[in-house]
Amino acid sequence: MRRLIRDLFLRYFDSPELAKLADAALLTSNGSRMAFTTDSYVVKPLEFPGGDIGRLCICGTVNDLAVMGAWPQYLSIGLIIEEGLDLRLLERIVASAADTANLAGVKIVTGDTKVVTRGECDGLFINTAGIGACPLGRGLSEQPIEPGDAILVSGTLGDHGVAILNARASLGLDAAVVSDCAPLNGLIAHLLHGPPTVKWMRDPTRGGAASVLIELVDSQSFGVLIREEDIPVKAEVLAVCEILGFDPLHLASEGKVVIVAKGEDARMALQLLKQHPLGRDAAIIGEVTSDGAGAVRLQTASGGMRRLLRPTGELLPRIC
């Protein structure tokens, strides 16, 4: 997919903002600074422990704006509905989206609906786009990322990924794991209104924390070192990963943020995160380093060091 974006879309859609491939585009219009983002949601199943596609489509877009240091304000919603979709299911999803929008303090101001023939989409696909005003709080610092900066996460990783895996009954696992799907603008506002210098944030959705950290160091003169024993992961998530042979760092979270803060502000940032209900399990997991440029290294709990790579293709359970 990255190749498709690089070789096809960027070639035709020629804009410096798009080329940055950030979670949201930062724009100026009539002297006002704002952020603009879009995302499409194709999750299966449509309802899962801890949420549904309605909650997800609001959170995902709100969070993409918030991690770029913008206050999310207005969303559009476009639904592609498969003919024959249970109307009670659709209503539950729409109600969920509305509740989540209220929770996040955003307004859905425009929308579109299409119905396609049975078999032409998997029940329901949703696209949301959002705009927000910059900055949120003091916004993101313009200071460049440098060795000594701290890497933090706002809570346990991989919950959403495991909740989805579990909801696909074919694996037969019974685990009390619910999706962490949540709007993060409140948590991020709390952090950005405080004193710490925050340089970079991303929400580790598809591809997990590994993917966002690899994106962080790509083509840079610095690297990242994270410590396995400091990474918060729920016991059930670890167990599912052990059984199926997955890495929790490759599984999606939909209510967490990975943060780079100035080194000396790390403890303060951690404290601020922990004050917020969505940041109770926050942790400092590593730092930016001068060696290992362009790579993410993991210090294993048993004392070794290895490189972290992106997950390859679809996540499949192993037998071997």
User: Which tokens belong to 150?
Assistant: 């701290």
Grouping H, G, I as helix, E, B as strand and the rest as coil, residue 52 is strand
Bridge-based pairing of strands 283-289 and 107-116 is unpaired
Using an 8 Å Cβ cutoff, are 73 and 132 in contact?
A: yes
Judged by CB under 8 A, does residue 88 bind another protein?
no
User: Which tokens belong to 263?
Assistant: 């080194």
- Beta bridge pairs of residue 47: 52
Judged by CB under 8 A, does residue 313 bind another protein?
yes
Q: Any idea how long the chain is?
A: 320
Q: Which is nearer to another protein, 87 or 316 (CB)?
A: 316
Which one, of 211, 183, 195, lies nearest residue 261 by Cα?
195
Q: How far is CA 71 from CA 87, 139, 256, 261, 279, in A?
A: 33, 9, 17, 19, 19
Sequential DSSP letters for 73-94: EEEEEEEEEETT--HHHHHHHH
Nearest distance in Å: CB 47, another protein: 21
Q: Which is nearer to another protein, 177 or 278 (CB)?
A: 177
Q: What is the Cα–Cα distance from 283 to 299, expressed in whole angstroms?
A: 16
Q: Which is nearer to another protein, 115 or 235 (CB)?
A: 235
Q: How many residues bind another protein (CB under 8 A)?
A: 41
User: Which tokens belong to 196?
Assistant: 């710490």
Judged by CB under 8 A, does residue 173 bind another protein?
yes
Choice from 94, 133, 171, 178 touching another protein (CB under 8 A): 171
Bridge-based pairing of strands 107-116 and 71-82 is parallel
199's CB contacts (< 8 A; 6+ apart) are 140, 141, 143, 144, 145, 149, 260, 261, 262
Q: Which is nearer to another protein, 240 or 273 (CB)?
A: 240
Q: Which is nearer to another protein, 190 or 310 (CB)?
A: 310
Judged by CB under 8 A, does residue 115 bind another protein?
no
Q: What is the Cα–Cα distance from 211 to 309, expressed in whole angstroms?
A: 8
> Residue 309 carries which DSSP code?
-
Nearest distance in Å: CB 273, another protein: 25
Q: Which stretch binds another protein (CB under 8 A): 105-113, 187-195, 207-215, 234-242?
A: 234-242
Judged by CB under 8 A, does residue 305 bind another protein?
yes
Q: Which is nearer to another protein, 133 or 173 (CB)?
A: 173
Choice from 56, 240, 260, 273 touching another protein (CB under 8 A): 240
Judged by CB under 8 A, does residue 172 bind another protein?
yes
Q: Is residue 257 classed exposed, middle or buried when 0-12, 13-18 and 19+ CB atoms within 10 A define those classes?
A: buried
In the region spanning residues 38 to 67, those forming contacts with another protein, defined by CB under 8 A, are: none
Q: Which is nearer to another protein, 110 or 221 (CB)?
A: 221
Judged by CB under 8 A, does residue 109 bind another protein?
no
Choice from 12, 170, 195, 219 touching another protein (CB under 8 A): 170
Bridge-based pairing of strands 150-153 and 223-227 is unpaired
Choice from 175, 251, 252, 284 touching another protein (CB under 8 A): 175
Nearest distance in Å: CB 123, another protein: 19
Choice from 243, 264, 271, 280 touching another protein (CB under 8 A): 243
Q: What is the Cα–Cα distance from 153 to 68, expressed in whole angstroms?
A: 16
- Over the window 276 to 295, marking each residue x when it contacts another protein by CB under 8 A and - when it does not, the resulting string is ---------------xxxxx
- Which chain residues interact with another protein by CB under 8 A? 170-176, 223, 235-236, 238-240, 242-245, 291-295, 297, 300-307, 309-310, 312-314, 316-320
